[in-house]
Amino acid sequence: MSDFPQIQLLAPKRGMPPKHFADLSKDERIDALKELGLPKFRADQIARHYYGKFEADPLTMTDLPEAQRQTVKDALFPTLLTPVRTVETDEGDTTKTLWRLHDGTLLESVLMRYPGRATLCISSQAGCGMACPFCATGQGGLDRNLSVAEIVDQVRAAAAMMAAEGSRLSNIVFMGMGEPLANYKRVVNAVRQITQPSPDGFGISQRNVTVSTVGLAPQIRMLADEGLSCTLAVSLHTPDDELRDELVPVNNRFEVSEVLDAARYYADQTGRRVSIEYALIRDMNDHDWRADLLGKKLHSALGSRVHVNVIPLNPTPGSKWDASPKARQDEFVRRVAAQGVPCTVRDTKGQEIAAACGQLAADEDAS
Ligand code: SAH
């Protein structure tokens, strides 16, 4: 028994947030507004504010009757994400935002500005249950799934930031915390809202949305049948099952050949090239023979419909692993390419602010 039982009572209960406008279908929005005494057309009007102007507060929606703005806010626009901290790096090109969710859970998203495009890296879960040993998020386990609106609102917040700069958010990558395909239905719903034109969504091109997965083969096949043409990224990290069982533990359920079969199905159904993620780890997965085998397996599974992204390992605090030396990395890339598979090295924006792969929110949790 705790000496301070009241502390237990004060701690917010971990769980899904209150319902938000972005959690609801069109019909559900109309019903919810009807209950508040508002006519049907208000649903589209509010959606235009949210998706078209990136406004999340009905009090600023001046074409709503003043008396009803607070009612709409209370019923349909709970605050989902409260900024705790914002950090910039890369001379202001990269912005990392730490958010607190309604139950105290922490979450991060990272906005990266490049010439001609701006990419937001978003989270699909708080924490992650996939336990990849080189990933900081994987060490803490899964807190919970994010709601649809918690995913969508990360995009809205970044789109608002870009609009304020006179620019536009153009790309979304599900490469923040969590395994998107383990929160499948909500992620697909969010992808639709991210890509549909206003007033149904933010109108970001499907091709510019990348869903990155550890390789949940059945869900990759489901995603292939959704009629979406977003980009699939598969975190392979090694072409052989023996090492992959360790680096990506879910490989014990879906082995490399099953994952690549599912990736081929995705490419067949969508006509999209599949991205393969490969975190290069010194003396772990950076051998010549692994580069050759990777190139061969990918070429035979996917032909020319594949591209390898090598990510220099971003060592997590206390990790025994490190990135490969530059010469090793160059040789690895050369060998994969020699098998006829395009292979490039991912640039590492945000590294010095712990905004790089697998580090999101880990610092704060540790404190
Ligand atoms: N669960 C999804 C999204 C995770 S983050 C997935 O596994 O694909 C996106 C990418 O960053 C994944 O390829 C992941 O393996 C990689 N990553 C995680 N930690 C990393 C680290 N410390 N260094 C380099 N890449 C890392």
- As a whole number of angstroms, the distance between CA 26 and CA 281 comes to 47
Residue 212, annotated as binding a ligand: yes
Q: For residue 299, count CB atoms less than 10 angstroms from its CB and return exposed for 0-12, middle for 13-18, buried for 19 or more.
A: middle
Residue bearing tokens 């006829």: 340
Closest among 186, 184, 206, 199 to 26, alpha carbons compared: 199
Stretch 72-80: mean pLDDT, rounded?
A: 97
Going from the N-terminus, what domains does the chain have, and what CATH number goes with each?
21-77 (1.10.150.530), 81-353 (3.20.20.70)
Per-residue confidence (pLDDT) for residue 161, from 0 to 100: 96
Per-residue confidence (pLDDT) for residue 2, from 0 to 100: 43
21 lines ligand 1 (CB under 6 A): no
Stretch 55-73: mean pLDDT, rounded?
A: 95
pLDDT digits (tens, 9 = 90+) for 93-149: 999 999 999 999 999 899 999 999 999 999 999 999 999 999 989 888 999 999 999
pLDDT digits (tens, 9 = 90+) for 157-204: 999 999 999 999 999 999 999 999 999 999 999 999 999 998 999 999
Does residue 150 carry a catalytic annotation? no
How far does residue 358's CA lie from ligand 1's centre (Å)?
5
Per-residue confidence (pLDDT) for residue 54, from 0 to 100: 97
Residue 343, annotated as binding a ligand: no
122 lines ligand 1 (CB under 6 A): no
Per-residue confidence (pLDDT) for residue 357, from 0 to 100: 54
314 lines ligand 1 (CB under 6 A): yes
236 lines ligand 1 (CB under 6 A): no
Per-residue confidence (pLDDT) for residue 355, from 0 to 100: 56
Structure confidence at residue 351 as a pLDDT band (50, 70, 90): low
How far does residue 259's CA lie from ligand 1's centre (Å)?
16
Per-residue confidence (pLDDT) for residue 5, from 0 to 100: 46
% of the chain residues with pLDDT over 90: 84
Closest among 223, 231, 286, 219 to 258, alpha carbons compared: 219
Largest CA distance in the chain: 69
- As a whole number of angstroms, the distance between CA 178 and CA 154 comes to 14
pTM across the whole model = 0.93
